[in-house]
A and B are shown apart, each in its own frame.
Chain A
Amino acid sequence: MIKGSGVQKALKKISQSQMAIPLFALLLIIIFNLFRDIGFFSITVKTNNFGNTVLSGNLISILNGASELAILAIGMTLVTSATKGQDISVGAAAAIAGSVFVKVLRANTITIPIILLALLTACLVAILFGLFNGILVARFDIQPMIASLILFTAGRPIAYWINGGATPNVDSPLLNYMGSFIPGIPIPSPILIVVLFIILVTLALRFTNLGLYIQAVGINERAARINGINPVLMKLLVFIILGVCVAIAGSINVCRIGLINHETILLDIEMDAILAVAIGGNALSGGKFKLAGSVVGAYIIQALTITLYAMKVSSTAVKSYKAVVIIAIVVIGSPVVQKWALQLRDRWFKRPVTAVETH
């Protein structure tokens, strides 16, 4: 065999990495849209109602709309890695965090320090609820999905109780800074928040042992404990991080819409977040993880949704098409199918040289 050139090596590396499937899927959606309607990619500069010059177009709305999902997918990846399970209460917890955010805002005149205070309070409350899940999982050894089923059932009613049964609204140009645009910057601010958040998490994982410890607990808890890592602490920590993610996602959504509706805020987002983790090539059974995969997964889901909307599919029927594409992606990514494909390739394109080599 001749040794492959640099390009071939790089290609081989990409095709064998965990990112191959998500990147391939994203590419497929882009190519599909290229053939369908090239105007899908047009980005225009517009002036919005507040007199800001802003960017608009499908690509921007994909990046913008997936913000909450991307943030939650990051937290969900860490939880999946350490606890070998998923938290299905993120949507309900986001409703609670959003309600607390609105409650603090409405009790005061809205200024920037008050917004920060509200965000902090929402974070604290979300962390408390995260710790509730975390203690059940870490101390009582309950599967995350079952532990979070409790908050999944009771979460939105608690938000209803915080809101007093109403859907209170908050209105301030300052909130638009977080939900839509900051004057002078044409990029929607949720995108900026996501970028900032990703940078922070990446730095934290790069310069501390956090990522290593989380993966160690997920791969083999006993071995991690023998090596001096406290698995209980690590599991609690991932739920705290997920709590922060939930609070940020909930607050962004409240700022975007301008009111809190406990029934509909971030509905079914837990399913999408778990999906983003899986599409990103992360095993739902825990262990090694790749944050970039989950983030790409989140954007794939949003790109798919926006593409279907652009094709005039009704909003309720979108789910059906999404399901078919998701199944297609996971089937291609399944190790069994990949093995079959390799066997098929060997049978059809087997060169005699390799045949001799293998014998």
Chain B
Amino acid sequence: MSLKRDKLREPISNTALLLTITICAFVVMYVLAIFIWGRGFRNPQQFLDIFNNNAYLIIISCGLTIVMITSGIDISVGGTVALITMACVVFMEDYGGSVAGSIVLALSIGITMGLIQGFLVAFLDIQPFIVTLAGMFFTKGMTTIVSKAPRTATNELFLAMKNFRIVIPGIGTYGKTGNFIPARIEPGVLITFAIVLAVWALLKWTRFGRNLYAVGGNSESAMMLGINVRRTKFFAYILSGLFAGIGGYVYLLHTGAGNAANATQAEIQAIASSIIGGTLLTGGVGSVIGTLFGVMSLKTISNIVIASGLREPYWQSITTGLMLCFFILLQSVILTLRKKKRQMFMETDTVKIAS
């Protein structure tokens, strides 16, 4: 009997299985790209540029993963990023604000959005999609109210921060004249990795992190276990807002301009990254490392499309759609197969008991 029970237990959890698939898919994709299109993909700088250009996307995707694990969704993050870039630039330019002030402003905008949305979702039981959709409308509208025209930051300290690069010793390429060009990363990338690690530790080792999975998996049984479901959801949205705040500032550090068109469709890309990374919208399953690889896969496929000569912009969207389709179907098939296997074991078990 005990032998059967052991077989019942999965050797690997759904979260870990989906994560493994994502990482394998990314590695296979990148290795293939190196062999087929060579040159650019062997350049370490091009690899690091994935992080340089998409640091903000990885950060907001982390927040989205947390919310999606609780079976919620937050589509306001793109709008929040746009609002923060605009508000910070206007604050520094028109009101003579300091850099420290603008950082505080960015974080407080993000946390305020998280607080309001979290309250509405967790304590008033309003559907998260509607709340965060309104949040998206609000932030996008507010961005144009703050300033209609795009603005550029000219604060000296800020520009120094923006142009600061961290040189990675030993890694780099040789330029056309044979000189060695070391690879560089932006400061935002360090923040990104710190956040990814922090969220990974949070989800893995803290009580709050485990509560998130419990609430998303089955909120009723979570409640019966004595978990405060409402508070857990509330904090999930606050974290998402906080990460949107940090992401907004990192975006500003990358471009240095406030623009209402900033981060358009970032929320959709973040959701897509989370899905590719193995987070299920139904909740209870997901990992932040997967999300990181989700963003990297999404951007690598764009690079591959460009490298293969399909320069028309619509090819990128079509391949992104195809890749999403592939991952979604793969996940669905795997999960269904596992469920069936589990049910089969259960049935044979009950038959044994009955006889």
A residues in contact (CB < 8 Å) with B: 86, 136, 140-143, 145-147, 149-154, 156-158, 160-161, 165, 271, 274-275, 278, 284-285, 314, 316-324, 326-327, 330-331, 334-337
Picked from A314, A319, A321, the residue with its CB within 8 Å of the CB of B140 is A319
- Kindly state the separation between the CA atoms of A326 and B127 in the bound complex, as whole angstroms: 12
- Hey, which chain A residues are within 8 Å of B321, CB to CB? 150-151, 153-154, 157
Taking a contact as CB atoms under 8 Å apart, the answer to whether B120 and A274 are in contact is no
Taking a contact as CB atoms under 8 Å apart, the answer to whether A140 and B332 are in contact is yes
Known: A317-B145, A326-B130. 7 other contacts (CB 8 A): A136-B328, A145-B129, A149-B272, A156-B317, A160-B314, A327-B131, A334-B125
Taking a contact as CB atoms under 8 Å apart, the answer to whether A316 and B260 are in contact is yes
- Kindly state the separation between the CA atoms of A161 and B318 in the bound complex, as whole angstroms: 10
CB distance from A325 to the nearest CB of B (A): 9
- Hey, which chain B residues are within 8 Å of A278, CB to CB? 127, 130
Indicate whether A141 sits within 8 Å of B317 (C-beta atoms), given known contacts A146-B275, A316-B260.
no
Indicate whether A153 sits within 8 Å of B130 (C-beta atoms), given known contacts A319-B137, A319-B140, A320-B141.
no
A-B contact pairs, 29 of them (CB 8 A): A140-B329, A140-B336, A142-B328, A142-B332, A149-B268, A150-B322, A153-B324, A154-B318, A157-B313, A158-B314, A161-B314, A274-B130, A275-B130, A275-B133, A278-B127, A278-B130, A314-B144, A316-B140, A317-B141, A319-B141, A320-B137, A320-B141, A323-B134, A324-B134, A330-B127, A331-B124, A334-B124, A334-B126, A335-B125
Kindly state whether residue B333 has any CB partner on chain A within 8 Å. yes
- Hey, which chain B residues are within 8 Å of A136, CB to CB? 328-329
Q: Which residue of A lies closest to B260 (CB)?
A: A316
Kindly state whether residue B123 has any CB partner on chain A within 8 Å. yes
Per CB-CB distance, the 8 closest pairs between chain A and chain B, nearest first, are A320-B141, A154-B321, A157-B314, A319-B141, A323-B138, A323-B137, A316-B144, A323-B134
> In the complex, which range does the number of interface residues on chain B fall in?
35 or more
- Hey, which chain A residues are within 8 Å of B137, CB to CB? 271, 319-320, 322-323, 326
Q: Is the interface of B mostly helix, strand, loop or mixed?
A: helix
Give the interface centre of A141, A142, A318 by most chain B CB atoms within 10 Å. A142
Kindly state whether residue B271 has any CB partner on chain A within 8 Å. yes
- Kindly state the separation between the CA atoms of A152 and B332 in the bound complex, as whole angstroms: 19
- Hey, which chain B residues are within 8 Å of A317, CB to CB? 141, 144-145
Taking a contact as CB atoms under 8 Å apart, the answer to whether B328 and A147 are in contact is yes
Indicate whether A323 sits within 8 Å of B141 (C-beta atoms), given known contacts A141-B332, A147-B328.
yes
Taking a contact as CB atoms under 8 Å apart, the answer to whether B320 and A153 are in contact is yes
Picked from A86, A153, A157, the residue with its CB within 8 Å of the CB of B272 is A153
CB distance from B77 to the nearest CB of A (A): 15
Contact with A along B102-131 (1 / 0, CB 8 A): 000000000000000000100111110111
CB distance from B276 to the nearest CB of A (A): 11
Kindly state whether residue B202 has any CB partner on chain A within 8 Å. no
Taking a contact as CB atoms under 8 Å apart, the answer to whether B271 and A149 are in contact is yes
Q: Which residue of A lies closest to B320 (CB)?
A: A153
Taking a contact as CB atoms under 8 Å apart, the answer to whether A157 and B134 are in contact is no
Picked from A86, A154, A160, the residue with its CB within 8 Å of the CB of B322 is A154
- Hey, which chain B residues are within 8 Å of A271, CB to CB? 133, 136-137
Picked from A165, A324, A336, the residue with its CB within 8 Å of the CB of B125 is A336
